[in-house]
Structure 1
Amino acid sequence: MTEENRETGRLIGYARVSTGGQELHSQIDALKKAGVPEKLIFIDKASGAKSERPGLDSCMQELQAGDTLVIWRLDRLGRSLKHLIETVEQLMERGVGFRSISDGGIDTTTASGEMVFNIFATLAQFERRLIQERTQAGLKAARARGRKGGRPKISANDPKVKMAKKLSKNYNISIGEICNTLKISRATYYRFLKIGE
């Protein structure tokens, strides 16, 4: 990095599309228009839900203190709201700024943008706490009515359990075929075989 870059920092871009059939042109054009050099734009063609994103991994390794990560829209970066906030918080701890082009108020390199992000993070934390409280209240109410949480027990007389046991004795049928036929996972198949033993 040059002395000038150390002082002003670099703009580094990240773009993602969910499938190979989608195009990245509009995102890349928007990043270039925002001042990101094309050689510093990292890309992925993968679902946001996937944890493996080599382009994002390379982007994170490239980023240094003073740099700013620029994305086209918030949903291009995070697998979920929680993951997005954790990622941006990690960048801020490393001294890296964050800017979303389409979500104008999100720019941690400005005081107002950082405040917007902090409000965003606080609302997400508030939502998580509400969900936890509702879950706990629901479990408490269920226990008061004599119900226990967790998966309901399956009896040895359940038709799927009987069929799984019967098919397991036919060595011409693979476990995968049995699971597909009964629409169950392998873990469930093995659990069914233990029922009643």
Structure 2
Amino acid sequence: MIVGYARVSSIGQDHAAQLDRLAAAGAEKIFSEKQSGLDRERAALEECLRFVREGDVLLVTKLDRLARSAAHLHQIVETLDGKNVGFRVLDDPSLDTTTRTGKLVFGILASIAEFETALRKERQLEGIAKAKAEGRSGGRPAKLTGETKAEILRRSASGESVRKIAEAVGFSKSAVQKVVTEGAGG
């Protein structure tokens, strides 16, 4: 059985053309959704991957409709391989795991994905080391507490400049200015 998967990134987009092309290519069952490819949780994709059975072929119109990166693509194709399910891309005939050449292309993509992941991790560790050397720590920015807002308003009322208040409380000038403006009623 040929199983299709179609996706568009936003509610305003239409995937009718993808659905038509998948059906014309022989897809008997098509899963579709309107959701960003960056979302890790895509319900229709997960349902599609659970649905496919040995001997089936998963078909998409374009590669970017399915995967976020080479690593993500490799992960999906590995899942399909484990179930003895083929994979094809209509717009790129070389991406077809039902052929020897297609399997070779995916082997190359898997190597690229592994390399891409290693580079990303290396850059991330370098960035963390640099931030630590500069005295910065990761995580979300601190939130202004009621106590901090009260201190900002007190300092402002005593005539201290926004810049000096920002330095003293450890928040940006714009955050301090916002508290001062809101505290002044407007």
Please, what TM-score do these two structures have when normalized by structure 2? Answer: 0.68
CA distance in 1: counterparts of 2:65 and 2:128, whole angstroms:
36
- Runs (5+) with no aligned partner, structure 1: 1-9, 155-159, 171-180, 184-197
Alignment CA distance shift 1:138-1:66 (3 Å):
same
- How is 1:22-101 mapped onto 2 (pairs within 5 angstroms)? 22-37=13-28, 40-101=29-90
Does 2:2 align with 1:15?
Answer: no
Q: In structure 2, what residue type is equivalent to 1:47?
A: S
Match of 1:115 among 98, 104, 107: 104
**How far did residue 138 of structure 1 move?**
6.4
3-state DSSP of counterpart to 2:81? helix
* The 10-residue stretch of structure 1 (116-125 or 45-54) with the greater mean CA deviation from structure 2: 45-54
3-state DSSP of counterpart to 2:14? coil
- Runs (5+) with no aligned partner, structure 2: 154-173, 177-186
3-state DSSP of counterpart to 1:12? strand
**How far did residue 139 of structure 1 move?**
6.4
3-state DSSP of counterpart to 2:7? strand
3-state DSSP of counterpart to 2:59? strand
Query: Deviations along 1:17-60, whole A, 9 cap, x unmatched?
Result: 111221112111211222112xx011101111223322222212
When the two structures are aligned, how many residues end up with a matched partner?
A: 153
CA distance in 2: counterparts of 1:70 and 1:138, whole angstroms:
39
**How far did residue 136 of structure 1 move?**
4.8
Aligned match of 1:150: 137
Aligned match of 1:5: none
CA distance in 1: counterparts of 2:43 and 2:125, whole angstroms:
38
**How far did residue 151 of structure 1 move?**
3.6
**How far did residue 12 of structure 1 move?**
0.4
Q: Which runs of 4+ in 1 moved over 6 A?
A: none
Contact 2:4 2:59 in 1 (8 A): yes
**How far did residue 68 of structure 1 move?**
0.6
Aligned match of 2:115: 126
Q: Give the aligned CA root-mean-square deviation in angstroms.
A: 3.3
